[in-house]
Structure 1
């Protein structure tokens, strides 16, 4: 990957130049564009958190003995890794779209002036990418939920079986049976930790995606309304086109 691609989105030359142009010309869309850039950077950080949890899952699997639970979790981790790679590609596509959109907006500004910035949303094609990310994130959250439920179920079955064996022994000694099984054990809790942490990362990512979509909505809505600058330009052009009014003639003195 080139150094330009590795650079933070906010540090990309085209992004910085367009933000500067928008601010210099008092465009409120500068805030929406900057928010979109920050959301993408947040998504990158949240995905990094997901990758850390996947590494922890793989480590736990290496230490687990062969069992139906281990087999089930291996499939889950493989599926989560595929989702993480899909999210990585989707974030990269969002970055490319923003950079390319900034290039086109700057080119329009050089050719047509500030009038080309009134409909800034047309330069960016982010909605489909955000919708795809939303779908991928939801799917990954469900995988974590299923894994956590599986771990809890196996732990409950184990302790229920232990309670049953214990009660057999207590019955032989004439003691009263134990009614409740032990709560989720330390080992099961340890195994479940990275899945819960990964789910937290994905839930945060889902929230960031929703904020990004809301910001895109605002950017598109602003494009549908004539800007103040546009209204001022139109008023100025209208005033120039109107013929000058003649000064009223004063009554001659008698």
Structure 2
């Protein structure tokens, strides 16, 4: 059985389908950052937009996979069909993985916003210096980057297979044609025909799928660049929150001081 990739979109709960920027915790954190004149609000908003772009781009990839599978069902049983079925199966597994990674990324962002807000309410604006660290964006984005690159590789291998089979088919056709031309005493045809109509039709959804995946790679790279700016901004600013936490630990570890003796008690 092939993994289920639903054309209509992601199989996730209603809460996760809601735009990230509309989530209560996300809206609240963005508002706090803006109110306190934190430039990181702009980069955080850009990162959220990139995640939403990824969802749309992946949805397009899902639709193209559905087209691939439909066209393969109509093909006659050939080694090419078998090879392409395997490539579609591999792509669908990876697309399911990407869908799960995006859902996990959104969950991490929402939970991270909750943590950042809790720190802000307890420690004030000092907690906002490293708000990006609560979101765990880098791990999720880098994992998606690997999966996307793997999808692009599988897709391009399938396109090469289609092109190779088409070339071999036309080479064989050219050879047979030249046998007939030789019998008639005509000059042999040197150039094989370009990719035929059938091969172009088969390749079309793979090319469209590749466009979606390349767009996803671009969105991930942009998100990582924005995240790098967030992280650098946090590193440049000394963390008051960290200093406060270390000071609290130091105070708690020190033995309690004895109260000074009252002078009147000596009499």
TM-score tier after normalising by the smaller chain length: 0.7 to 0.9
Following superposition, the deviation at residue 182 of structure 1 comes to 1.1
Aligned equivalent of 2:205: 194
1:157 maps onto 2:161 in alignment: no
Residue in structure 2 matched with residue 35 of structure 1 by the alignment: 46
Give, in whole Å, the separation in 2 of the partners of 1:92 and 1:108.
25
1:89 maps to 100
Which residue of structure 2 aligns with residue 113 of structure 1?
Answer: 124
Q: Relative to structure 1, is the Cα distance of residues 197 and 126 closer, same or farther in structure 2, using a 3 angstrom cutoff?
A: same
1: CA distance between counterparts of 2:204 and 2:123?
A: 56
Moved beyond 6 Å, runs of 4+: none
CA displacement, residues 135-154 of structure 1 (integer Å, 9 cap, x when unaligned): 10111101111111100111
Equivalence for 2:80: 69
Q: Secondary structure at the match of 1:118?
A: helix
Q: Report deviation, 1:26.
A: 0.6
The residue that corresponds to 1:175 in the other structure is 186
**Partners of 1:191 and 1:152 in 2: CA distance:** 10
- After the TM superposition, which residues 1-254 of structure 1 pair with which residues of structure 2 at under 5 Å, given as runs? 1-226=12-237
1-structure distance, mates of 2:206, 2:16: 30
Deviation at 1:122, TM superposition (A): 2.3
SS of 1:119 mapped into structure 2: helix
Distance 2:13 2:50 in 1: 22
Q: Taking structure 1 as the reference length, what is the TM-score of the superposition?
A: 0.87
2:256: which partner in 1?
Answer: none
TM score, norm. by length of structure 2: 0.83
Shift of 1:198: 0.7
CA distance in 2, matches of 1:95, 1:191: 35
- Unaligned runs of 5+ residues in structure 1 are 231-254
Q: Distance in 2 between matches of 1:225 and 1:213?
A: 18
Deviations 1:59-102 (A, max 9, x none): 11011100000000000000000010010011111101110111
Query: Can you list the C-alpha shifts for 1:115-161, whole angstroms capped at 9, x where unaligned?
Result: 11122122121111111111101111011111111001111111111
For 1:73 and 1:44, locate their aligned partners in 2 and report how far apart those are by CA, in whole Å: 25
- Contact 2:16/2:107 (<8 A) preserved: no
**RMSD of aligned alpha carbons:** 1.4
Whether the aligned pair in 1 keeps the contact of 2:16 and 2:106 (CA below 8 Å) is no
Q: Aligned equivalents of 1:129 and 1:4: distance in 2?
A: 19
Q: Please report how far the alpha carbon of residue 224 of structure 1 lies from its aligned counterpart in structure 2 after TM superposition.
A: 1.0
